[in-house]
Chain A
């Protein structure tokens, strides 16, 4: 492992070996600034928890790891210790990096030879410009985690990016998911002596659990079912992942409401506990009192007789998204582009399809590029089906699902650049027409996903649809999505332009109402995510983040419900547990 370095100071080190026996090893805290900034921004923008997984990165002389920002600057994430007198170092220090699926995370590694006279100093105090630069390497975090071995070997280059005639050596990066990231907790809650809020019957209570965020507010993370007419309810077990509650010591707000059909639920009581405190309640068979917050009648909170018990508490290890992708599961990307006339003539600069000669990307190109550059790392062959819909093709007919590459040799194109090229080419060969229909494209994607099940259960398909307009076939689209919810498929919809996207919000079932088909069939799970492009202007978060953040959750819902497990390559078997609940 590793390679040969040119080390002119090697001889001197050998002579001065005794002096360097005491090597200070610094224990660096993880730099969480970037992570918290991103998470904090997510909370502010969407009120949702981003799927972040803590990674440990092993690096094989002193290595420094940076995150490359959008403006090209480097932010240091951590440093290894100095390995003395070694041309093939294996560093011990691990550097924690937060994995965010929905973002491209470029990493840059610099390797230095630390001068002998600095060997007794803490690593973090070293000035890197005083050390000898040996080489640099870069990659994207998802390139590492999708490898079966979760290791990536990179050639070191000098500062101007050339490998040169002489080999500068290699750097091998190994990534492992921290144990805590996989943790989930299943809890069974019970209340007693709830206050009655109903006039002619008993309360219909349910619990809502929220996570407190740094800005001081709280974000709901789950709720129980409603138990009717009961002041001493026991709810069904809730499963919470570490990603949802952050850490076992993070305070959670638990609110008990009386359910009302009008949607105006009445607060019965609330309390604030961390997961660790809830575990303690369970072990001690203790309870906690609910209270009512201050109101204009009463200046301090009122402690109620009502009590919360934790009847069940069970920690478990779940297979994580990274377990699947590192053992060979893939996300297969598919694209469908709206070619209806409402986009405007592509030759006109105000058309949504205008190809700027200066190279500035239009909204369609932006969406393809931003989603594609993230998701391409999860597909080993990078051959992507690409369709258009709503255009008049060269045979004169309007097609609601035509191959973007002109139908020459099948539907697939190679790489994100292949999608971009076939899109630009199609604009010259296809006349914009209409109307806007989604059903055919979704059915075609569903058929591909369905056929893949006959030979491979480790493919999950992601269809990106980019549209400017209002659907003509809303019911057929719903029917197609309901059927597709039984398949390994997610549908991401990006809206461009300024149309009213109310229909898209209906398809994106984040309002809690499950999609229903015309024949009474209901979607088994939520597979649709919609984001309008104009949210880009509001802040730092790009469209890609909004549209991709739910994808690992949708993937996991599909896999876990069918009992599909990662291939047994890297994954340690979950510890055997006696499950306390009868099934």
Chain B
């Protein structure tokens, strides 16, 4: 299953996809199979320097190339990364930097992260790939008990700050249980780790470069739906987006909307609908960083608007929205004019054919905003 799905995304399999189109009614029967539940909203061009229109997998690729170029003691590894990766993020890197710096590992996630921790212990920047965030759980012990606690338990004698873990996450239209998960909340409960989620190519490049240079072990969950869909004017140089800082994408005064990853685009679109249908202006915040998260930016906004809706793809119970909600309630109790709403995936595994009903799409977000405004 892992390979079959991967093939659907990989460029070099398009010819076989074409064959499929010609020879079967597969696509006409499942007309929705590649339709996504949101449209990508590109960033406004704010970067002063040179930029280039590229998609998110190319942005990841550029960041990796910059890191490998800058530090000769850095390596990129994981399952199938040598030929370019199942999402094309590592294309051309092996040819450019050699097989001893860009290499395939045996198929073992706990091995990949354990191996990465060891590399990082010895001062090598270890950029590990977990093929899908859904498959990060075999490495949960290595990440939670080892990577996160190494500096603490050794009194700062040893650390694995040079470890960065990349993992494609989130809904993709037809990924079902094991190609759709958003596991950020599991890791948000782990002191010692840093967790970030980019919403597009600019953030993917800037955050990945931050993660690689950050002195702590970092997880970057890349919403896989954005790899090819999201195209931005991405700065060509080596730049960083700070970990731990949220970004206000749209200013508003009626309600604060908080999301991250591809959900941000849904919130932006919903904000338009709210403006049009209800005449209210939403303040849209991309949280960007899950751990540590930017409490200040969020609470400041809520103090202004008095209302808040948090949205994420992951299930509701103990999702990261719970943490954000509880913190806002504590910090903004006197400013809140309505209960904090969370619009999330349901408390079920991520289903195949029911995906349109599972996701916190713009209509579910709109409904929650409307109810909050009318409270």
Q: Do A and B come from one complex?
A: no
